[in-house]
Amino acid sequence: MNIVVLVKQVPDTAAERTLTGTDHTLDRENSDLVLDEINERAAEEALTLKEENDAEVTVVSMGPDSALDAIRKVLAMGADRGIHVCDDRLRGADVVTTAKVLAAAVGTVTDVDLVLAGDAATDGQASAVPAMVAELLGLPQLTHVRELALDAGRVRAERETDSGEATLGAPLPALVSVTEKINEPRYPSFKGIMAAKKKPVATVGLDDLFPDADHAAFLVTRTRVVEAVPRPARAAGTVVTDDGSAARRLFDHLLAQKLL
């Protein structure tokens, strides 16, 4: 069985994130970069399934040189091999290009049974790339999954969104995106970290993934940011200490603000 897990390196949400002044893309040089935490859980799920199904796990990431750190972390957790899509032309890639590139990278792995991803990355939060990759690969998509089981060539998943919960079923191969509630990711062991250094990572560029593409027509982004303005920080407003009358005063305030 072959499992591919898609991961992304993102700026640490605990730190300040800024956009560059020139092209409004993420200022990576001034960010702490980490393996996205929901993606890390997708990796954990892939490794759990590897243990149960004797699977080979390939970790795929698109990003600059630093993204190799995210791949190495998943290899240290126990994945078998990596594919690093690294190409200067992908700087500022939009979600459609990202999905196309990831789909093409998954396509280089033979006989894929399952593609796993996080249901959102904590930077862009478009939350659409996994479904788009499935669309491009012609796979059923089971997204926002908090529980997953493989059985007899089929996948069953519990989906959880604010519109309710559903049980989904599909034949393999399929794509599954997981929520952050699916599991607790393992820590790489020292042995795992040492072993990860010897595991194969293929570095591929656009020419490898799209050998027949007409480069003039290959669009890295179909959208353009025309303006980016930092928003002023919210200022603290009125603070009152409750002496028994705070609820009444809050009610009057909300009424005066026409919020009730």
CB 96, min distance to other proteins, A? 5
Count of residues touching other proteins (by CB under 8 A):
86
Report in angstroms how near the CB of residue 189 gets to other proteins at its nearest: 25
Which value, in Å, is the radius of gyration of the alpha carbons in the chain?
A: 22
| Residue recorded with tokens 């995106």 | 177
d(CA 54, CA 3) in angstroms, rounded, equals 10
Determine which residue in the list 90, 174, 206, 209 makes contact with other proteins, applying CB under 8 A: 174
Kindly state whether residue 251 participates in binding other proteins, applying the rule CB under 8 A. yes
Q: Compose the 29-68 pattern: x for residues touching other proteins by CB under 8 A, - for all others.
A: --------xx------------------------------
Stretch in the footprint of other proteins (CB under 8 A) among 47-55, 61-69, 168-176, 194-202: 168-176
Q: Quick check: 229 binds other proteins (CB under 8 A)?
A: yes
Closest distance between other proteins and the C-beta of residue 101, in Å? 12
Closest CA to 148 of 173, 185, 106, 177: 177
Taking phi first (over 0 means left), then psi (-120 to 50 degrees means alpha), and beta for anything else, what does residue 78 get?
A: left
Interface region with other proteins, contact rule CB under 8 A, candidates 58-66, 71-79, 188-196, 214-222: 214-222
**Residue 254's CB: how many other CB atoms inside 10 A?**
11
- State which residue, 37 or 80, has the beta carbon closest to other proteins: 37
Contact 58, 142 (CB under 8 A): no
189 contributes a contact to other proteins by CB under 8 A = no
Q: Given candidates 1, 136, 195, 202, which one binds other proteins under the rule CB under 8 A?
A: 136
Structure-token match 């393999």, residue found? 172
Which of 2/25 has CB closer to other proteins?
Answer: 25
Residues numbered 65-124 forming contacts with other proteins, rule: CB under 8 A: 94-96, 99-100, 120, 122-123
Element holding 167 (H helix, E strand): strand 164-171
Whole-angstrom Cα distance, residue 144 to residue 205? 30
Q: Which stretch binds other proteins (CB under 8 A): 79-87, 109-117, 196-204, 251-259?
A: 251-259
Q: Which residues contact 9 (CB under 8 A, 6 or more apart)?
A: 33, 34, 35, 36, 61, 63, 66, 67, 69, 70
